[in-house]
Amino acid sequence: MNTPHTPPDARAAGTGAPAGVAPGTGDSAASIHDIGYRNYTGQRLGGGYILRSLLVQTLRGVYGLGRSAKSKVLPMCLFAVMVLPAAIVVAVTVVTKTSDLPLSQSEYVLTMQPVIGIFLAAAAPQAISLDLRHRTTPLYFSRPLERSEYVTAKYGALAAALFVFTAVPAVVLYAGALLAKLDFADQTGNFALGLVMCALFSVLHAGIAAAIAAHTPRRGFGVAGVIVAFTVPYFLVSALQGIAWDQDALGVTGWIGLASPGSLMDGVQATFLGGESTFPGSRTPPLGEGAVYLLLTAALIAGSYFLLLRRYRKAGL
């Protein structure tokens, strides 16, 4: 404790009331009352500091840092599950001395989507829904923090948490590739593209998850909502693409791919980030189609942000 009990006469100026000589009523509530009030004369930092503090606090909260040991279990386990396959890929690459990673960073993210989905389903309600469920939001909005700053901090924190979640395996893969003495220029280029993929993937998925979590303050609903949003459309897209492939309607598969966030990212990385799509026949959408993929991604991100902003319009007071 860096603020020891000060004697009553050492109280700061500006209060002046004789309350220091509190009556000796003897109960514990009265005993603390004879410590004088001190005015705060220190710094008051601006919006940037407040936004950053909220972002960091939310980001830490997603991984259970600064929370109970129990809250760390799920995110840390998922994190291990997310990184472990990358380590195995690296080991295989080093041992078998192949000329390239069996799996690029972008493909790795897409392959690990089920794990990412579970992580987001746990993280988004933790980051977003709790303030609504416990009605803490009025305490934020009655402070020098604008609605847009609150939304930016929360959205940013979730996106950053997801970026850490996806980019760490990418780093592991890159380190492994260098360890296996693969071509440095090639690998660095792939790694950079992989990071772009991770960032785009994180911003899109965090936005959708945050928008869902902000509208489901009840416990469990957010978790279910996020999982459904990321899995059901993805499976539907895969199934429909499979059918279209069977019917030799290859052109249709690209348009079907727009219908889920996962396949959307797949198309974007195949067109622009030099990856290989997991669409039937590993088809890469042509440039025009890819532009639609990119536009839709941008629209979804903007839409998520807008939905979040609208959600907090009433400030909850």
Partner 1 sequence: MNVIATDGLGKRFPEVTALDRLTVGIAPGVTGLVGANGAGKSTLIKILLGLSPATAGSATVLGLDVAREGRAIRERVGYMPEHDCLPPDVTATEFVVHLARMSGLPPDDARERTADILRHVGLHEERYRAMGGYSTGMKQRVKLAQALVHDPQLVLLDEPTNGLDPVGRDEMLALIRRVHAEFGISVLVTSHLLGELERTCDQIVVIDGGQLLRASATREFTREAAALTVEVTDTDAHPDGTEALHTALGAAGLSVTRGGSSAPGSPRLLTVEADAEGAVHDTVRDTVAELGLGLVRMEQRRHRISEVFTEGDAAEGTDAVPPQNAPATTETAAGRRR
Is residue 209 within 8 A of residue 192, CB to CB? The reply is no
Q: Is 21 in the site for partner 1 (CB under 8 A)?
A: no
Q: How far is the CB of 309 from partner 1 (least distance, A)?
A: 15
Scored b (16 or more CB within 10 A) or e, 248-281 reads eeeeebbbbbbebbbbbbbbbbbbbbebbbbbbe
Stretch that binds partner 1, among 36-44, 167-175, 200-208, 272-280 (CB under 8 A): 36-44
Instruction: Count residues near partner 1 (CB under 8 A).
Output: 48
Q: Is 68 in the site for partner 1 (CB under 8 A)?
A: yes
Distance CA 186, CA 217 (A): 46
Residue 170-189 contact track with partner 1, rule CB under 8 A, x = bound: --------------------
Distance CA 98, CA 113 (A): 26
Q: Is 3 in the site for partner 1 (CB under 8 A)?
A: yes
Single out the residue of 7, 10, 25, 49 in contact with partner 1 (rule: CB under 8 A): 49
Q: Which is nearer to partner 1, 118 or 132 (CB)?
A: 132
Q: How far is the CB of 303 from partner 1 (least distance, A)?
A: 25
Single out the residue of 25, 98, 136, 188 in contact with partner 1 (rule: CB under 8 A): 136
Quickly tell me which residue has 């941008």 as its tokens.
298
Q: Is 317 in the site for partner 1 (CB under 8 A)?
A: yes
Q: Is 33 in the site for partner 1 (CB under 8 A)?
A: yes
Distance CA 306, CA 151 (A): 9
Single out the residue of 57, 83, 114, 240 in contact with partner 1 (rule: CB under 8 A): 57
161 backbone dihedrals φ, ψ, rounded to 5°: -60, -40
Single out the residue of 9, 21, 26, 29 in contact with partner 1 (rule: CB under 8 A): 29
Q: Which is nearer to partner 1, 50 or 296 (CB)?
A: 50
Q: How far is the CB of 201 from partner 1 (least distance, A)?
A: 30
Number of other residues whose CB lies within 10 A of the CB of residue 2: 3
Q: Is 220 in the site for partner 1 (CB under 8 A)?
A: no
For residue 133, the one-letter residue type is R
Where do the H-state alpha helices sit in the chain?
28-31, 47-62, 69-96, 105-111, 113-124, 130-133, 137-141, 147-179, 184-214, 221-246, 250-256, 261-272, 287-311
N-terminal to C-terminal alpha carbon distance within the chain: 34
Stretch that binds partner 1, among 9-17, 162-170, 235-243, 283-291 (CB under 8 A): 9-17
Q: Which is nearer to partner 1, 52 or 181 (CB)?
A: 52
Single out the residue of 81, 141, 171, 258 in contact with partner 1 (rule: CB under 8 A): 141
Distance of CA 309 to the CA centre of its chain: 17
Alpha-carbon separation of residue 289 from 86, 92, 265, 277, 284 (angstroms): 31, 36, 13, 14, 9
Q: Is 7 in the site for partner 1 (CB under 8 A)?
A: no
Orientation of helix 184-214 relative to helix 221-246, angle to 10°:
120
Residue numbers at the binding site for partner 1 (CB under 8 A): 1-3, 14-17, 19, 28-29, 32-33, 35-40, 42-47, 49-50, 53-54, 57, 66-68, 71, 130, 134-136, 138-146, 315, 317
